[in-house]
Amino acid sequence: MALPFRQRIFLILGALTAVPTALAVVGWALAVRTVGPSAGARVALEEDAASARQMIEQIDTTRLTSRQRVVLRQHLEQLSNSVSLARRAETYLRYYAGSFAAVVIVFGTLALISAIRLAGHLSRQLSRPIDELVGWTRLIRRRMPLPAGPPTHGAPEFEALRQALRELVTALDQAREKELEAERLRAFREVARRVAHEIKNPLTAMRIGVGQLRRGGGQADGQTATAVDVLAAETERLERLAKEFAEFGRLPEGPKSEVDLVDLLVDLAKSAVPPAIAVTVRANGGPCTLLGQYDPLRRAFANLLRNAAEAMGGHGPIEVGVAKDGQGVLVTIADHGPGIPEEQRQRVFEPYFTTKQDGTGLGLALVRQTIEAHNGTIRVSETAGGGATFSIVLSTT
């Protein structure tokens, strides 16, 4: 059975600390061994000294010459000094070995205690952040929020890893939301495509019937004529609705070409809004061209200009700005109407969400679909002084 990570780290660190302690013990043992030979030499010298004393006792020094007595005395003194030095060396080595053994035991104990404490501290410093991060991965897998409390102590690299995991969770949440939103949009487009198909079949018959009634309107009374007019108006409304559903049900397709946004917006300023609306187009940086589908882009910007005009009741100024934005183009369309409440700014681009009584809720959804099909983004904010400002960023690459 594999040991937990913390216990493995603890054992490894403890083993690394035990090595120098073991070496110290081995050195002490070798030092003790050096005492044995020195003790044997001292015993041999003492035996030699005893033998010399016995020899002197048996010699008649009176028969020796003065020179021989001097030599004998020097030999005895030298032998006595050697025995004294051997005894001192033995005593010194004995105390040295004992002191060294005591020092080894004391410092070995202290080193072992320190090693255990240090190993425990380091193992906690390594294992706790790792255990915390492993727990975070489980939370990420379960799609649960990460704890926001103070982090477990550890090396700075662990804090960097925690921050990277938080950024990863944020990116995963954003990607998941985008995927869910894309899935909803695909479902909405499929429903819109089918509804448009189902409306078109009876709509053709209704238009034919209304036309026949109008051609025979000379013999009809006033009520019949009114009913025919209502049928014609509702038929046209259904036709517009079917067209919007059909456009929303398919993505922009077809060959791309260079589109000059400044020329496009200047043309729409003259044709897409009522005469009482004054549209000002300001281009910062000259012509701004991109590669895209002209017709879908024209419908999208026309829709935004019409919405701005309707928000101001058909009277007032609209400021349109076009400027380079890094590798893209920034287009802003600002009106001075009542504006859009902040809580509704994220929902205005959702399909079937509308604040108009006769709206279908597909206008801004179509705009967003077209902008995103051109690798762009769109958002809405408040105009200075009141109103709504739509900001569109389109990539030119």
pLDDT at 335: 92
Tens of each residue's pLDDT in the chain, 397 residues: 566 656 666 677 667 666 766 676 666 666 655 555 555 555 656 666 677 666 666 666 666 777 877 777 787 777 777 777 777 766 766 676 667 667 777 777 787 777 777 777 776 777 777 778 888 888 888 888 888 766 556 667 777 888 888 888 888 888 888 888 777 777 777 777 777 777 777 877 787 887 777 776 555 567 777 777 788 888 887 877 777 777 776 666 667 888 889 899 999 988 888 888 889 999 876 678 888 888 889 989 998 999 899 888 888 899 999 988 777 899 999 999 888 888 888 888 887 777 776 666 778 888 888 898 888 899 999 998 889 999 999 987 6
Q: Do residues 217 and 225 make contact, with C-beta atoms less than 8 angstroms apart?
A: yes
pTM, two decimal places = 0.55
What is the amino acid identity at position 26? V
Q: For 263-303, how does the pLDDT look when each residue is reduced to its tens digit (9 = 90+)?
A: 999 999 888 888 888 899 998 766 788 888 888 899 899 98
**Please, what's the largest Cα pairwise distance for the chain?**
184
pLDDT at 199: 78
pLDDT at 151: 58
pLDDT at 318: 92
Q: For 172-222, how does the pLDDT look when each residue is reduced to its tens digit (9 = 90+)?
A: 888 888 888 777 777 777 777 777 777 777 877 787 887 777 776 555 567
Q: At what angle do helices 222-248 and 363-373 cross, to 10 degrees?
A: 30
Annotate the chain with three-state secondary structure: CCCCHHHHHHHHHHHHHHHHHHHHHHHHHHHHHHHHHHHHHHHHHHHHHHHHHHHHHHCCHHHCCHHHHHHHHHHHHHHHHHHHHHHHHHHHHHHHHHHHHHHHHHHHHHHHHHHHHHHHHHHHHHHHHHHHHHHHHHHHHCCCCCCCCCCCCCCHHHHHHHHHHHHHHHHHHHHHHHHHHHHHHHHHHHHHHHHHHHHHHHHHHHHHHHHHHHHCHHHCCHHHHHHHHHHHHHHHHHHHHHHHHHHHCCCCCCCCEEEEHHHHHHHHHHHCCCCCEEEEEEEECCCCEEEECHHHHHHHHHHHHHHHHHHCCCCEEEEEEEEEECCEEEEEEECCCCCCCHHHCCCCCCCCCCCCCCCCCCHHHHHHHHHHHCCCEEEEEECCCCCEEEEEEEECC
pLDDT at 390: 94
